[in-house]
Amino acid sequence: MDTSFELERLQDEKARLDEESRALDEKLKQLETLFRILTEKVAIQELRNDNAAKKQTINQLSTRIDMLENRLEQLARGNTLKEDDVEIEKPENQENFRTNYASEGDPEQDDSAIRVMAFDNEEE
């Protein structure tokens, strides 16, 4: 009877190990599938991020191109205000302009006045 009991115990252990092996195989398949899914999701998200960065760069470049095209149109129409002139015309920059370019030799000069000087380039 000892041998039949031993044989039954071994068969039970083998059945248990076979069941465990099947469960482990199933778990392995699930994890491999999950790994492939997550790998694809990561690749997709990286592409989305790259595309978003490219779109932002394209938008910025398009804006700069539009600004240059507008500037070119202004120049073609003869509107040749220099950017420095436009900056001086802003109220917050007028005081700075007066301070930097006012005559130092004339202490009684009105701070609200801006002196305009014309230069004649023709020889006499």
Question: Is 9 a domain residue?
Answer: yes
What CA–CA distance (Å, rounded) separates 89 from 85?
Answer: 6
Contacts of 74 (CB under 8 A, 6+ apart): 80, 81
Average pLDDT, stretch 55-61? 98
- Nearest by Cα to 98 from 114, 110, 83, 78: 114
| Contact status, residue 115 vs residue 121, Cβ threshold 8 Å | no
pLDDT in tens, 1-41: 589 999 999 999 999 999 999 999 999 999 999 999 999 99
| Whole-number pLDDT of residue 24 | 99
Question: Is 124 a domain residue?
Answer: no
Angle (CA) 95-97-101 rounded to 5° is 125
**Number of domains observed in the structure of the chain:** 1
Provide the pLDDT confidence category of residue 115 given band limits of 50, 70 and 90.
low
pLDDT in tens, 76-91: 998 655 555 555 555 5
Question: Is 8 a domain residue?
Answer: yes
Q: From the centroid of its chain, how far is CA 36?
A: 29
- Is the pLDDT at 69 greater than 70? The verdict is yes
| Contact status, residue 114 vs residue 97, Cβ threshold 8 Å | yes
Question: Is 82 a domain residue?
Answer: yes
Question: Is 122 a domain residue?
Answer: no
Domain that holds residue 15: 2-101
How many CA within 13 A on the CB side of residue 52?
6
Question: Is 109 a domain residue?
Answer: no
